[in-house]
Structure 1
Amino acid sequence: MGFRDWRTPLLLLVALVLAAAFGRIERWEGFQNVSMSKKNMNSTLSFFIDSYNNASNDTYLFRVRKLIQSQMQLTTGVEYLLTVKISRTKCKRNATKKTDCPLQKKKLKKSLICQSLIYTVPWVKHYRLWNNSCLEDELSYKDP
């Protein structure tokens, strides 16, 4: 092992440090608060609520009532970290898949706040729900 054996890795390390220092290496910044395009938002939220309804044991379908927060991260596709409010509708799960079902009122009224991680490759219409966590909305009985 001579002088040349350690010089090449050292030169590569110096080049890497200089490139990083001068901004030549782009880093993914992680999740950013960015508004989704209307097209991506509609298809991503539709995918989310369909996934939720398919996994739910509730007699009634839920629908997205409000998008609370949307964060995006670019990876090999696009990852969305969504916080949404969903509410129980009057439509039964086996009867219909309508998106304009009226919301339940009074006794059967129920709202959840869900945080979901959805991976998508929108240009090929590929969606995958990686994580979903829903908690009952404490204000659901006080909402109009």
Structure 2
Amino acid sequence: MGGVCWRNLLLLLAALVLVAKLGHFQRWGGFQKKSMSKKNMNSTLKFFIENYNNVSNDTYLFRVDKLLQSHMQLTTGVEYLVTVKISRTKCKRNSTKSRSCAIQSNKNLKKSFTCDFLMYTVPWMNYYQLWNNSCVEV
């Protein structure tokens, strides 16, 4: 019985090596500059800005002002490496109308950041995880 088990294991290993040699395993090529689908972009940016606003100590909410750059990489989900410009809005943190907040026009209250963030998503499961982000005032 032990010999049959080893033989089956060796046959399975040989089949895996053959499949790999024939190129049936896709190699992940790292981050590529590709635009996100509109749906994925909106949900990814929404998750990022909600996370940013939740940890920010600012009195006002921020919103994504402009998508500057996006790179993606396919893994077990999708990883996005994104650069955005975010700006302070006229809405305070306790506001319920965060989607329609206008960008701050008062020159004493204006504030913008350029943010780079790395996010892991499984869009078909509506799963998002912010792995890293850094923002610099502009």
Q: Normalized against structure 1, the TM-score is what?
A: 0.79
The residue that corresponds to 1:117 in the other structure is: 118
1:70-100 Cα deviation digits (max 9, x unpaired): 1001111110001000000010001224212
Does 2:130 match 1:132? no
Taking every aligned residue pair, what percent have the same amino acid on both sides? 68
Cα distance in 2, alignment partners of residues 48 and 130 from structure 1:
10
Runs (5+) with no aligned partner, structure 1: 1-7, 138-144
Structure 2 distance, partners of 1:25, 1:123, is: 22
Q: Distance in 2 between matches of 1:27 and 1:108?
A: 48
| Aligned positions of 1:26-41 closer than 5 A | 26-41=26-41
Letter in 2 for 1:62: F
Q: 1:71 to 1:104 in 2, by over 3 A?
A: same
Q: How does 1:48-127 map to 2 (within 5 A)?
A: 48-105=48-105, 106-127=107-128
Identify which range, 98-107 or 26-35, moves more after superposition: 98-107
Letter in 2 for 1:92: K
Write the distance in 1 (CA, Å) between the matches of 2:49 and 2:110.
17
Equivalent pairs counted in the alignment come to 123
The 2-side partners of 1:83 and 1:91 are apart by 23
Contact kept, 8 Å, 2:61 with 2:98, in 1: the verdict is no
Please tell me whether the aligned partners of residues 67 and 85 of structure 2 are also in contact (alpha carbons under 8 angstroms). Answer: yes
Which whole-Å CA distance do the structure 2 matches of 1:95 and 1:60 have between them? 9
- Paired residue type of 1:100: S
The whole-number CA distance in structure 2 between the counterparts of 1:99 and 1:30 is 33
